[in-house]
Structure 1
Amino acid sequence: MPTGATVAALTTSLPETPGGERNWDYRYTWMRDSTFTLQALHYLNLDWEADEFMQFIADLESNGDGALQIMYGIDGTRDLTESTRDDLSGYAGARPVRIGNGAFDQRQNDVFGAVLDSILLHTVRSKRLPRRLWPLVQQQATCAAAVWRNPDQGIWEARGAPQHYVSSKLMCWVALDRASKIAGIRGDRSAEETCCATAEEIRADILEHGVRNGVLRQHYDTEALDASTLLAAVFGFLPRGDQLLRATVDAIATDLTEDGFVLRYRTGETDDGLSGKEGSFLICSFWLVSALTVVEQVQEATDLMERLLSVSSPLGLYAEEFDTSTGRHLGNFPQAFSHLALIEAAGRIILHERMRELM
């Protein structure tokens, strides 16, 4: 309150690696979080809060090309220029202590899909499409259609060279797929067909260039795995019985885990512009729970969920990462993304169980 924005975390510079440089300021609202936020709020029947958040998104100032930034201040501030407080040391002596976030002006092509999926979720839930949101739908769909072929920094805000990240292309597919569905709800058949055609073009490109040995990869020029490709299951990019989807989920469960928890990627295989190792990303483990449920591996999903629930803090909260060797939570705390993914994962398991009871 009073803006309706949500905050990624209330803290800054809690280290992802003890004593390392992966220390970020998360006291802002990310567009990437929007669809997971709306999903979680609606799961919990917090419809008023969901509407407040949608009103916040509708009021945001876009860039010159009509695209929303990847993040804003909780009052809608656009300039989040990053600086360091060299007179301070962070938790356990970690440096630097950062104020602001240098990723605010990065090009991350997943932002369009997150915004449009959240608008579709809210439209279906509220049974209406607010008139003031339709121009935003058109802008974000137009931007996604214009940039999906371009490399970007990816969902993890890598500070290395731009790449053709599979998850970014996938979220551009989400943008055009959801824009098509929203246009259908509005009765705009021309926009519906145009967006649908572009979505299919993006899907074909991903399947042609983003697959190695039957598995979705991090980007078009690597064999490396990336947990963000689990979003193919979360957002319905491929049908639940699809062999590529199953193989991708199995590969991440087998080859991108440490001590049963999922990594974002292996730092030795990824140019993220930083040094040092990081812990397992909790959101990625919750995504794996959701993905396992989608591909009907529900026992494996439930086992992983129980393992994740067992490592929460005494207050039942989670940071961004979990160090399996020490049992410590790492990164900013409490981290909204981790909890949003937990709610979705739990919701999917519960829904599956209830559907099975009705059969």
Structure 2
Amino acid sequence: MGDRAAEHASTPLEDYALLSDLHTGPLVSRDGSVDWLCFPRFDSPSVFAALLGTPEDGRWRISAVDGEVAHRRYLPRTFVLETTWRTPTGTLVVTDFLPPGSDQADLIRRVECTQGQVEVEHDLRIRFDYNRAKPWTRRVEPEGTARHGLLSVAGPDGLLLAGPLLYPHDAQQDKPQAGMEERHEASPKGHPDDYQGAVADRLSGVFPLSAGESLDWVLTWHLSHQYPPTPEDPQEALDRTLEYWRQWSARVDAEQEHGRTVLRSLLVLRALTNSDTGGIVAAPTTSLPEEFGGVRNWDYRYTWLRDAALTIETLVAHDFTDGALLWRDWLLRAVAGHPDDLQIMYGVAGERQLDESELGHLAGYEGSTPVRVGNGAVGQYQADVVGEVMLALAALRDAGIEEDEFSWGLQKNLLRFCEDNYDRRGHGIWEMRGEPAFFVHGRAMMWAAFDQGIRAVEEHGFDGPVAQWRTLRARLHEEIMARGFDEELDSFTQTYESTEVDASLLQLPHTGLVAYDDPRMLGTVVGIENDLQDEHGLLHRYRTGAGLDGLEGDEYPFLICTFWLVEQYACSGRTEDAGALLDQLTGYANDLGLFGEEYDPVSGRLAGNFPQAFSHLGFIRAVDALARVRAAS
């Protein structure tokens, strides 16, 4: 794998754009290559996986011959990507999008010559099942349209490409070089059987365009045993896509400080939400490394209770409650059953079986192996997750969303789970793979769970064993202060058994356990600055050499941790520090406003799974906190 990776330099993550139809999230590079696409869901096997290897692992590149990218952008308030190419002879605009609200999975790519003359080149390499199955491809006439189509199938998957015909790459040299009509619509002489059950490793084509001319391609996924669906009409699909995203985002004021990046971050959180099930994925990718060339490569295409709950809190704070209700319904289905069956994460539709495996045939992003699918952390106990869920559901109540008997029954079951696991050690918010411990953040979130249960009874009139919850809440408070705060260090600690600090301790005020300006928190901030902050002002999650995470190697600073520091600074009176750090962090988003999980300040590159919900919600919270403090002063 090492030699293969060395032959192909990975595209920087900041050069990628996200597309979304609220079911899946492909990544498109600045130079027009769809290097990651899972159809039909975020957690489905990929059909393009060049992101985790080489072009031979699957991609679809559309480019202008002899051209270079002059500009790219999302059309305002949408996930419709527009890329402008300039060549010595003309200008080409490529528009990429997935239409939401459809009952099928489509990727649509439009090319238009806006000036002069250009040639449009395709390189399409379909690789089903993470490049474990190459398709058989044949030519068909899609139902309901006169356009040519190519049907590629392997195992359960089928892809129909509708639009001007592409050809096996080795047949290109014999293609006629006639005008547009013959090139686009006629079956070239000498190649009548190109698609009679052939394995087409690579499909390509070159299409000349003059100013005012345009072409469309629609790639549609379907189950291979079913008849191929009718392709979307590209213009109708584009109009519908623009309307959907602009209507959803219309309430967001993008003119405030950092407003455009907040708008994009809210859009990302929506884009990572499955519109059918309500499941919110942590990221649309797998195995993008926490250290280039390292082994800390994880699959984030699932719904973590913690990540989803924090996302919901953020959306509710910005008056987006529809998606929050959809997530609450997902939660009711996913965690149904006995409280002891609770997991920390589920599939997008609530699946419980997320076995982790390695794809040894993929070279990995920047040679980072292993490439993993599934996530072994699904079996971990993490004491904090119920607290985050209870805080999110409380935010819904406080926003005026009516509780019902089923959702309140769920919350009572969650608190019963906390009771049953009160004395259980866990693996913590960072899913460490070492020995379990009593993590202070986890114990504080358990305190918050009982606190929100009590508040629901006292302020909203619900029923429950409130006296018992009060007793457990008091015990936890006393325990955390006695065992989780080190008087000598003047700091809260990562675990009861250690003197290490952890960036998750910055979340203690969010639980309500302590105030942002509590002397114990201020002392903890000093400890975090001394031990976890690098010379660029960025925070690491914890010291990786402390022995608890059970993993080799290191990792770059986590963006959400530094966003938490901005929030802490703002709420404890350090507004100038908060503003300066927030401005710095905002500059780490790419040109489209997307954040990765981490940032390497030495190379100036984003790292980790991309784009990352954690980072985007952390950014929004930091902006909100600073704005509230400034407004009150």
Bin for the TM-score computed over the shorter chain:
over 0.9
Q: Which moved more, 1:63-72 or 1:8-17?
A: 63-72
- The structure-2 alpha-carbon separation of the partners of 1:80 and 1:245, relative to structure 1 and needing over 3 Å to count, comes to same
Distance 1:62 1:231 in 2: 28
1:247 aligned partner, one-letter code: G
Q: What SS does the aligned partner of 1:148 have?
A: coil
Tell me, yes or no, if the aligned pair for 1:67 and 1:140 is still in contact at 8 Å. Answer: no
Distance 1:45 1:179 in 2: 23
Q: What SS does the aligned partner of 1:322 have?
A: strand
Aligned partner of 1:223 among 476, 496, 499: 499
- The structure-2 alpha-carbon separation of the partners of 1:307 and 1:148, relative to structure 1 and needing over 3 Å to count, comes to farther
Does residue 296 of the first structure (1) align with residue 573 of the second (2)? yes
Give the superposition deviation at 1:279.
Answer: 0.3
Give the superposition deviation at 1:269.
Answer: 1.5
Distance 1:89 1:347 in 2: 41
Distance 1:239 1:200 in 2: 17
Give the superposition deviation at 1:308.
Answer: 0.6
Does residue 354 of the first structure (1) align with residue 631 of the second (2)? yes
Structure 1 gaps of 5+ residues are none
Distance 1:153 1:68 in 2: 15
Give the superposition deviation at 1:66.
Answer: 4.1
Tell me, yes or no, if the aligned pair for 1:14 and 1:24 is still in contact at 8 Å. Answer: yes
Does residue 34 of the first structure (1) align with residue 300 of the second (2)? no
Question: Which digits, 9 at most, give the CA deviation of each residue in 1:5-39, with x for residues without a partner?
Answer: 11100001111111111010000011011332112
Distance 2:631 2:460 in 1: 32
In the TM superposition, 1:131-170 aligns within 5 A as: 131-170=405-444
Tell me, yes or no, if the aligned pair for 2:571 and 2:629 is still in contact at 8 Å. Answer: no
Distance 1:176 1:116 in 2: 9
- The structure-2 alpha-carbon separation of the partners of 1:248 and 1:67, relative to structure 1 and needing over 3 Å to count, comes to farther
Tell me, yes or no, if the aligned pair for 1:183 and 1:191 is still in contact at 8 Å. Answer: no
Does residue 333 of the first structure (1) align with residue 610 of the second (2)? yes
Give the superposition deviation at 1:110.
Answer: 0.8
Structure 2 gaps of 5+ residues are 1-274
Give the superposition deviation at 1:190.
Answer: 5.8
Q: Which residue of 2 aligns with 1:253?
A: 529
Distance 2:309 2:571 in 1: 18
Distance 1:124 1:67 in 2: 28
Aligned partner of 1:242 among 484, 495, 518: 518
The alignment of Structure 1 onto Structure 2 pairs a total of residues equal to 356
Q: Which moved more, 1:115-124 or 1:38-47?
A: 38-47
Q: What SS does the aligned partner of 2:573 have?
A: coil
1:263 aligned partner, one-letter code: H
Compute the RMSD of aligned alpha carbons.
Answer: 1.6
Q: Which moved more, 1:288-297 or 1:215-224?
A: 288-297
Does residue 287 of the first structure (1) align with residue 561 of the second (2)? no
Tell me, yes or no, if the aligned pair for 2:280 and 2:303 is still in contact at 8 Å. Answer: yes
Give the superposition deviation at 1:271.
Answer: 2.0
Tell me, yes or no, if the aligned pair for 1:67 and 1:143 is still in contact at 8 Å. Answer: no
Q: Which residue of 1 aligns with 2:590?
A: 313
Q: Which residue of 2 aligns with 1:175?
A: 449
Tell me, yes or no, if the aligned pair for 1:70 and 1:111 is still in contact at 8 Å. Answer: yes
Distance 1:331 1:240 in 2: 29
1:79 aligned partner, one-letter code: Q
2:375 aligned partner, one-letter code: N
Q: Which residue of 2 aligns with 1:185?
A: 459
Give the superposition deviation at 1:241.
Answer: 3.4
Question: Which digits, 9 at most, give the CA deviation of each residue in 1:243-267, with x for residues without a partner?
Answer: 1011112321333111200110011
- The structure-2 alpha-carbon separation of the partners of 1:270 and 1:305, relative to structure 1 and needing over 3 Å to count, comes to farther
Give the superposition deviation at 1:343.
Answer: 0.8
Give the superposition deviation at 1:186.
Answer: 4.0
Tell me, yes or no, if the aligned pair for 1:109 and 1:172 is still in contact at 8 Å. Answer: yes
Q: Which residue of 2 aligns with 1:87?
A: 361
Give the superposition deviation at 1:314.
Answer: 1.6
Q: Which residue of 2 aligns with 1:200?
A: 474
Distance 1:197 1:232 in 2: 20
Q: TM-score, normalised by structure 1?
A: 0.95
- Quick one: higher RCO (CA 8 Å, sep 6+), 1 or 2? 1
Question: Which digits, 9 at most, give the CA deviation of each residue in 1:103-148, with x for residues without a partner?
Answer: 0111111111011111111111124222211111111111112323
Q: Which residue of 1 aligns with 2:509?
A: 233
Q: Which moved more, 1:249-258 or 1:315-324?
A: 249-258
Which of the pair is proportionally richer in strand? 2
Q: Which moved more, 1:155-164 or 1:193-202?
A: 193-202
Distance 2:294 2:315 in 1: 35
Give the superposition deviation at 1:278.
Answer: 0.3
Give the superposition deviation at 1:67.
Answer: 5.2
Q: What SS does the aligned partner of 1:36 have?
A: helix
Distance 1:292 1:148 in 2: 32
Which of the pair is proportionally richer in helix? 1
Q: What SS does the aligned partner of 2:339 have?
A: coil
Q: Which moved more, 1:305-314 or 1:295-304?
A: 295-304
Distance 1:81 1:150 in 2: 24
- The structure-2 alpha-carbon separation of the partners of 1:177 and 1:208, relative to structure 1 and needing over 3 Å to count, comes to same
Aligned partner of 2:343 among 69, 89, 106: 69
Q: Which residue of 1 aligns with 2:334?
A: 60
Aligned partner of 1:267 among 519, 524, 544: 544
Aligned partner of 2:390 among 95, 101, 116: 116
Distance 1:96 1:81 in 2: 15
Distance 2:397 2:277 in 1: 20
Tell me, yes or no, if the aligned pair for 1:234 and 1:287 is still in contact at 8 Å. Answer: no
2:527 aligned partner, one-letter code: A
Q: What SS does the aligned partner of 2:599 have?
A: strand
Identical residues among aligned pairs (%): 36
Distance 1:237 1:267 in 2: 27
Distance 2:286 2:300 in 1: 6
2:553 aligned partner, one-letter code: G
Distance 2:532 2:595 in 1: 20
Q: What SS does the aligned partner of 1:329 have?
A: strand
Tell me, yes or no, if the aligned pair for 1:68 and 1:111 is still in contact at 8 Å. Answer: no
1:55 aligned partner, one-letter code: D
Give the superposition deviation at 1:294.
Answer: 2.3
